[in-house]
Amino acid sequence: MNQWKALLFLISITTLSACSDPQPTVLDFSDGEIDYSGRIDSTSGVAADLYWSGTSIKLDFEGESISALMQDERGDNYYNVIIDEDSMYVLRPDTTKKYYQLASGLSGGKHSVELFKRTEWDRGKTIFYGLKIEGDAKVLPKSREEKKKIEFYGNSITAGYAVDDFSGKDRSDSIFTNHYLSYAAITARHYDAERHTICKSGIGITISWFPMIMPEIYDRINPEDPSSSWDFSLYTPDLVVINLLQNDSWLVNMPEREEFKTNFGDTAPTDEYLTQAYQGFVSQIRGHYPSASIICMLGNMDATQEGSKWPGVVESAVDALQDENIYTYFQPFKNTSGHPSIEEQQIMADGLIQFIDENITW
């Protein structure tokens, strides 16, 4: 009899202990307090698919730890995990759907966590299912403050390609690409602005190092799916920055490439053709955003070196548009090998910020 009483007592204590443990708070990807930035594809209804550089997920909360339920298509994407806008580390989700702990051992009070996509869409998508908070968990409302909005269109310079490769070899491994340190992301943070970034290393207006060009993919959610259309009414930027033509400047001189033959045939494009193509793309952007200021930027690689014709192409296209809210801005040629370094990206950001402050009211 005493043994039975002891067993019942242990069961009661265990049950009470289990009941006293706070249950985790689980948020579905569609929870209204999750603050997304970038073109998010939630059409599946079960998760958010993340493609573009700089896409981010942010939440304000209270609790001792927080985890994200994620699955990467290829295991080749990297994210900056930013805790309380202070500490930061890199997360590489793999191809298994599971919870990844983002922070633990947090003190009481308000905290924030942000997942920031460093890598480009050619590394495959990441599937985000939701978040889990443990330890006196509480979801805090996201900020409803109206912020400035910027949209960037660019190539590897904008993507932050190889910016973390300190060897100087411009290595293509995705760990070295870090859009967070690109001039685009730095500029957006300077203004505490919302931002969308549509970019791809190697892409151009008339020709790329691969079959697709920017005018073909700029309006997609999933950049690899021609039927995947972005709804431009979901995000209306105050400012658009276009930094393209660096790849065109090389590839129009390579008639042996298949992309050249497909796009131009046997004859290199004339300056008039290039000007009209650039003008046409800017007109497409203007059609989506009638009131936005648009900066047609170029640089800082060799498309802006002394004697280059490409600033003239941009100027001619903008002049023909006769739009007082479309500007040209050319970054100084960096005159170093490879893609822009961290320091050179910061110099670009500083120059762009100065140009915006001096020329644009927003």
pLDDT at 3 over 70: no
Q: Where are the domains of the chain?
A: 25-139, 149-359
> Which of the two residues, 3 and 153, has the higher pLDDT score?
153
What 168-173 contacts at long range (C-beta under 8 Å, 24+ apart), as own/partner pairs, is 168/337, 168/338, 169/338, 170/338, 170/339
> What does the alpha-carbon distance between residue 14 and residue 224 come to, in Å, rounded to a whole number?
53
Tell me the average pLDDT across 153-157. Answer: 98
The CATH fold assigned to 25-139 is: Jelly Rolls (2.60.120)
CB 67 within 8 A of CB 99: yes
Q: Do the domains 25-139 and 149-359 sit in the same CATH topology, yes or no?
A: no
Cα–Cα separations (whole angstroms), residue 311 to 16, 248, 299, 303, 333 = 73, 13, 9, 8, 12
Rounded-to-integer distance, Cα 284 and Cα 244, Å: 15
Query: Mean per-residue pLDDT for 192-218?
Result: 98
335 C-beta neighbours (distance < 10 Å), count:
10
- Give the angle subtended at the CA of 353 by the CAs of 351 and 358, to the nearest 5°: 95
Give the helix/strand (H/E) hosting 132. strand 126-134
- Compute the average pLDDT of residues 45-62: 98
Measured in degrees and rounded to the nearest 5, phi and psi for residue 315 equal: -60, -45
pLDDT at residue 16, rounded to an integer: 42
DSSP 142: P
Residue 47 has pLDDT above 60, yes or no: yes
Over residues 34-62, the mean pLDDT reads: 97
In this predicted structure, which of 17-31, 133-147, 290-304, 341-355 has the lowest mean pLDDT?
17-31
pLDDT at 48 over 90: yes
CATH class of 149-359: alpha beta
Instruction: Check residue 21 and give its pLDDT.
Output: 56
Q: What is the pLDDT of residues 101-129, one digit of tens each?
A: 999 999 999 999 999 999 999 999 999 99
Q: Looking at residues 136-165, what average pLDDT do you find? A: 96
Closest CA to 248 of 199, 328, 170, 313: 313
